[in-house]
Structure 1
Amino acid sequence: MSTDRITMIRERLDAALSPTQIDIIDESAKHAGHAGAKGGGGHFIVTLISGNFSGKSLIERHRMVYDALGDAMQSEIHALSINAKAPEEI
């Protein structure tokens, strides 16, 4: 199941943001048993480098990621930590 979620996250972010780098870490096992995890949603850390983030504020970048993930934020993902950078920031 976790591999399926990572694949889904990667595909949605690739399609929407064309990142030059994407790293996804599943930390769901660390949160097993807590209230939010009971609904089945996973805990993930996402690091993205994308030209689409150039000139965008942190809030705008996070909104772009949330928009790309769409309905998965309501079911498949319980918690998401986002590190979003433009190529010129690395």
Structure 2
Amino acid sequence: METDEVERRIEAAIDDAEASVSLPRVPDEDHEDAHFAAVVVSPAFEGLSLVDQHELVYDALGEAMTTEIHALELKTYTPEEYREAN
């Protein structure tokens, strides 16, 4: 799976989400372990615990979390939290 596909799936499943996905380490051609890092900003995270926010993202990726994605470094923010952090 490519980074743009991960972004597309997240943005399609979470209301008003903006996802930025990268590869945090050099892919190992000898292994199929796809490691991704994602920053997701959405008003849908408002009032949710961090665990619930991450669960929304995992749900958006569905089966890929157990087949095509080996690891996902995840940071989630509401728009206000993101503005404050940056």
Task: Looking at secondary structure, tell me which structure has more helix per residue.
Answer: 1
Q: Which runs of 4+ in 1 moved over 4 A?
A: none
CA contact (8 A) 1:5 1:76 kept: no
Output the CA distance in 1 between the equivalents of 2:9 and 2:55.
14
CA contact (8 A) 2:4 2:21 kept: no
Q: Secondary structure at the residue paired with 1:29?
A: coil
Of residues 32, 57, 79, the one that matches 1:65 is 57
Q: Which amino acid aligns with 2:53?
A: R
Instruction: Name stretches of at least 5 consecutive residues in structure 1 with no aligned partner.
Output: none
1:25 aligns with 2:17: no
Instruction: Name stretches of at least 5 consecutive residues in structure 2 with no aligned partner.
Output: none
Of residues 25, 46, 53, the one that matches 2:45 is 53
CA contact (8 A) 1:28 1:42 kept: no
1:8 aligns with 2:5: yes
Shift in Å, 1:41: 3.1
TM superposition score normalised by structure 1: 0.79
Output the CA distance in 2 between the equivalents of 1:82 and 1:7.
16
1:41 aligns with 2:33: yes
Give % identity: 33
TM superposition score normalised by structure 2: 0.82
Output the CA distance in 2 between the equivalents of 1:7 and 1:63.
20
Shift in Å, 1:27: 2.8
Q: How big is the alpha-carbon RMSD for the aligned residues of Structure 1 and Structure 2? A: 1.9
Shift in Å, 1:28: 4.7
